[in-house]
A and B are shown apart, each in its own frame.
Chain A
Amino acid sequence: MRRVLSLWLPQLPLDRRVRIGDLRTEGPFAIIAEMKNAWRLTHVNRPARRAGIAEGLSLPDARAICPDLFVEPADEIRDAALLRALWRWADCLSPRVSIDPPDGLLLDISGCAHLFGGEGAMGRHTRQRLGDMQIHTRIGIADTKGAARALSRFGKTGVAIAAPGKTNEALKDLPIAALDAEGDIASELARTGLKTIGQLYSVKSSELARRFGLDLTRALGCTLGQEPDPLTPAAADPIYAARMTLPEPIGLKSQIEDVLKRLAASVCGRLEAEQKGARRYLLTVRCVDTGDHVLSVGFARPCAEPASVLQQFSHSLDQLKIEFGADWFRLVAEHVEPIHPKQSTLGKEAQEEDNTARIISMLGNRLGFDHVRKFQPCDAHLPEREFESMEAVDKEFDPVWKQAPRKRPLRLYKTPERLRALEPGRPPKQFEWRRKSYATKSAKGPERLTAEWWREGDMKTRDYWAVQTANGARLWLLTYPGEAEPNWYVAGKFP
């Protein structure tokens, strides 16, 4: 017989504030959330309740009733993190635990309860342990998920238990809202005079389905155990790691590499068996005198090859200073992603991609991944915005390069370099740039570009001239029209 324990944490956000030592929770305190364009109270603590405040009130109303009320906006992400932590903690009660968001846990306790001295004792034990952690709980135990949830939320006592096979009697007096049905069925049923679950037993389910939809009958069936509603425990993400403890410390690089080779073979073997790869590997080396040293390497694409891992670590192992030796090693793979194996002998593109990824990992691990970049086209008309340089790692590059309307220089100086005009002209007939003098032979232009008015910054209209100089260099000169004394800049250089 399956038995399910539902753990309801009615005041999870408040408990979290208490746990982090928020002193405001000693007085009237509430958690608020924005609902339908109004701030409303979602959780209220005991002093506030005593002051006459209840959940669902709007914030101005609550302030009017109790002027010294403190409030805090709901933080769903942190609440979910706390719930997830509790989900892991609940492992001590049962091996099969699933999260029942936003504020509950469901435990399959079939065959577990006797370890705690029965179901009642188990419920009390759980409540007490969570109480020690300053978390309020209500517990329902029944044959089905739905019934356990209903008992935990609407039961009369902190630990409500429906004896095996006695679900119907236990739920008899609970309101319809205890059923996990979608929509506002409770108020519809209330209009027909049906208020408790027990009243539904006598109505034919075909009648209920006809008037209130299949949702209600399905919820009722699941709750009473007439329809299957299994519990699916979520498993924690697997950790791909291996460690090795040695009887004697080692210090030679070749020895450490041997250890790393074995660790990498184990970790990568597991990854490969599941067709996965990791983008990051961390190696912890525990030295006997200086403690833990953590080395890390990154990869441009998920990798599960021991040889590559070894190769990337070799540089950081060189840097590592081991004086009296190390005797504990742990290699862990992070950012695990599935690998889609490609047949590299057939597809030339796949091989080229592989090669590029290898270059990126190799150089990025030593120089830093922000130094290894690729170009990405942008949709803009200013020459310096027509492309972008982005970190090459971890990105998909599938850009389509459109031809620029006019010829663009091969070198583009992001901040145009001012030149010194020796002989005026438009563009200057002779000028000096980077300590060299140039004479204009011919010039094409201007190419006039207006600034992007929707952006901050340089708002001046620009004139670009392509200048062929007498001594060979082809420069791209820039000036801002409309200035009384025009200044000229070198914006780029053609090949």
Chain B
Amino acid sequence: MSPHVCINGAKLSAFESITPKKHGVVSIGSNLSLACGRVHEAMGDAADMFAVALAAHAKGPVVWIGRSVDVGSLAPTGFQEFFDPTRVVTVTCVSRQETLWATEQALRLPGTACVVAELGDGPDLQTSRRLQIAAEEGGALGVILISGRAQTSAAQTRWQCDPITDEDAFWGWRLVKNKNGKVGFWRVGWAPDDGRNDHAQGFVLVAAAAAA
């Protein structure tokens, strides 16, 4: 399997000319990087996988926050091939408000690598701005999984993630909104490594990219 194919040669990146680069980036393959210290939104059937791929590439504790119906169904046996489940701390909240509070706190704490929040509808401008500021303070990568409707928000990027039906373990990530930079489409595959010495790092490959 070839690691990645740039269809029109353009090297795309989901952060491009972002001012606060001080927190670094999380790179998946060589031509897809997301800015840390920012909040990203993900929608669609494979949004979970998007979060898992980012968590696998971030270094440090992963906090997964949501209501108990959402977080309670998260199965470590499903993502243990991508990264070590001991890194995950799950937080169950009783309401959307509590979820948002916990997300903000987790983002603000220095040392958190990745914060995944499961919200029904997307955050509005004010809420997402708060989260964005918190992320900038702490330097963690924030991922908001939206299962309902998205709203106008201050998030850095928004992704539409869906499984690709004709191949197993392949996903299409469409960047539908990017605050600074271009949008695009990535085909991401999963090549299980036989060695298995390094837990998951670099397992998720960018298979194809195309500027929209």
Which residue of chain A lies nearest to B199 when distances are taken between CB atoms in the complex? A401
Q: Which of B8-16, B23-31, B91-99, B179-187 contacts A (4 or more CB under 8 A)?
A: B91-99
Per-residue contact bits, chain A 225-265, to B (CB 8 Å; 1 contact, 0 not): 00000000000000000000000000000000000000000
Which residue of chain B lies nearest to A492 when distances are taken between CB atoms in the complex? B75
Asked if residues A410 and B48 are in contact (CB atoms below 8 Å), the reply is yes
Residues of B close to A360: CB separation below 8 A: 89
Asked if residues B88 and A367 are in contact (CB atoms below 8 Å), the reply is no
Residues of B close to A397: CB separation below 8 A: 86
Interface membership of A413, Cβ < 8 A:
yes
**Bound-complex Cα distance A397 to B61 (A):** 13
Chain B interface mostly helix, strand, loop or mixed? mixed
Interface membership of A86, Cβ < 8 A:
no
Which residue of chain B lies nearest to A398 when distances are taken between CB atoms in the complex? B86
Residues of B close to A383: CB separation below 8 A: 75, 77
Interface membership of B162, Cβ < 8 A:
yes
**Which of B88, B164, B168 touches A375 (beta carbons < 8 Å)?**
B88
Asked if residues A367 and B90 are in contact (CB atoms below 8 Å), the reply is no
State how many angstroms separate the Cβ of A354 from the closest Cβ of chain B: 7
Q: Which of B103-111, B125-133, B148-156 contacts A (4 or more CB under 8 A)?
A: B103-111
State how many angstroms separate the Cβ of B35 from the closest Cβ of chain A: 20
**Bound-complex Cα distance A222 to B146 (A):** 78
Asked if residues B75 and A387 are in contact (CB atoms below 8 Å), the reply is yes
Residues of B close to A470: CB separation below 8 A: 165
Chain B residues 168 to 203 lying within 8 A of chain A, measured CB to CB, are: 168, 171
**Bound-complex Cα distance A399 to B74 (A):** 18
Which residue of chain A lies nearest to B163 when distances are taken between CB atoms in the complex? A472
Residues of B close to A448: CB separation below 8 A: none
Chain A residues 400 to 447 lying within 8 A of chain B, measured CB to CB, are: 401, 403-404, 408-414, 441
Chain A residues 160 to 210 lying within 8 A of chain B, measured CB to CB, are: none
Residues of B close to A355: CB separation below 8 A: 60-61, 109-112
Query: When A373-B90, A495-B171 are in contact, do A412 and B75 touch as well, CB less than 8 Å?
Result: yes
**Bound-complex Cα distance A470 to B86 (A):** 35
**Which of B75, B76, B81, B163 touches A474 (beta carbons < 8 Å)?**
B163
Asked if residues A392 and B111 are in contact (CB atoms below 8 Å), the reply is no
Chain A residue total in the interface (Cβ 8 A)? 48
Asked if residues A359 and B63 are in contact (CB atoms below 8 Å), the reply is yes
Which residue of chain A lies nearest to B102 when distances are taken between CB atoms in the complex? A363
Residues of A close to B120: CB separation below 8 A: none
Query: When A355-B60, A359-B106, A495-B52 are in contact, do A403 and B81 touch as well, CB less than 8 Å?
Result: yes
Asked if residues A410 and B75 are in contact (CB atoms below 8 Å), the reply is yes
Interface membership of A351, Cβ < 8 A:
yes
Query: When A375-B88, A399-B86, A441-B165 are in contact, do A411 and B52 touch as well, CB less than 8 Å?
Result: no
Asked if residues A356 and B73 are in contact (CB atoms below 8 Å), the reply is no
Which residue of chain A lies nearest to B80 when distances are taken between CB atoms in the complex? A401
Per-residue contact bits, chain B 65-88, to A (CB 8 Å; 1 contact, 0 not): 000000011111111110011101
Asked if residues A414 and B73 are in contact (CB atoms below 8 Å), the reply is yes
Per-residue contact bits, chain B 135-167, to A (CB 8 Å; 1 contact, 0 not): 000000000000000000000000000111100
**Bound-complex Cα distance A195 to B112 (A):** 75
State how many angstroms separate the Cβ of B75 from the closest Cβ of chain A: 4
Asked if residues B163 and A352 are in contact (CB atoms below 8 Å), the reply is no
Interface membership of B124, Cβ < 8 A:
no
Which residue of chain B lies nearest to A383 when distances are taken between CB atoms in the complex? B77
Interface membership of A362, Cβ < 8 A:
yes
Interface membership of A394, Cβ < 8 A:
no
Residues of B close to A494: CB separation below 8 A: 78, 163
Asked if residues B52 and A372 are in contact (CB atoms below 8 Å), the reply is no
**Bound-complex Cα distance A413 to B71 (A):** 10
Interface membership of B49, Cβ < 8 A:
yes
**Bound-complex Cα distance A472 to B89 (A):** 29
Interface membership of B45, Cβ < 8 A:
yes
State how many angstroms separate the Cβ of A337 from the closest Cβ of chain B: 21
Which residue of chain A lies nearest to B78 when distances are taken between CB atoms in the complex? A410
Residues of B close to A345: CB separation below 8 A: none
Asked if residues A358 and B72 are in contact (CB atoms below 8 Å), the reply is no
Interface membership of B119, Cβ < 8 A:
no
Residues of B close to A473: CB separation below 8 A: 45, 163
State how many angstroms separate the Cβ of B37 from the closest Cβ of chain A: 16
Interface membership of B100, Cβ < 8 A:
no
Asked if residues B77 and A386 are in contact (CB atoms below 8 Å), the reply is yes
State how many angstroms separate the Cβ of B70 from the closest Cβ of chain A: 9
Interface membership of A371, Cβ < 8 A:
yes
Asked if residues A468 and B86 are in contact (CB atoms below 8 Å), the reply is no
Interface membership of A374, Cβ < 8 A:
yes
Per-residue contact bits, chain A 358-390, to B (CB 8 Å; 1 contact, 0 not): 111011001100011111010000010011010
Residues of B close to A359: CB separation below 8 A: 61, 63, 89, 106, 109, 111-112
Interface membership of B46, Cβ < 8 A:
yes
Query: When A359-B63, A474-B163, A495-B171 are in contact, do A411 and B73 touch as well, CB less than 8 Å?
Result: yes
Which residue of chain B lies nearest to A364 when distances are taken between CB atoms in the complex? B91
**Bound-complex Cα distance A415 to B109 (A):** 35
Asked if residues B89 and A362 are in contact (CB atoms below 8 Å), the reply is no
**Which of A354, A389, A409 touches B78 (beta carbons < 8 Å)?**
A409
Asked if residues B80 and A403 are in contact (CB atoms below 8 Å), the reply is yes
Query: When A387-B75, A412-B75 are in contact, do A356 and B93 touch as well, CB less than 8 Å?
Result: no
10 intermolecular pairs with C-beta atoms under 8 Å apart = A352-B60, A372-B91, A387-B76, A387-B85, A401-B85, A412-B74, A471-B165, A472-B46, A495-B52, A495-B78
With contacts A411-B48, A494-B78 known, what are 11 further pairs, Cβ within 8 A?
Answer: A352-B111, A354-B111, A355-B60, A359-B111, A373-B91, A374-B90, A399-B86, A408-B78, A468-B165, A469-B165, A495-B46
A: which residues have CB within 8 A of B? 351-352, 354-356, 358-360, 362-363, 366-367, 371-375, 377, 383, 386-387, 389, 392, 397-399, 401, 403-404, 408-414, 441, 468-474, 492-495
5 A-B pairs with least C-beta separation: A355-B111, A495-B49, A410-B78, A412-B75, A408-B77
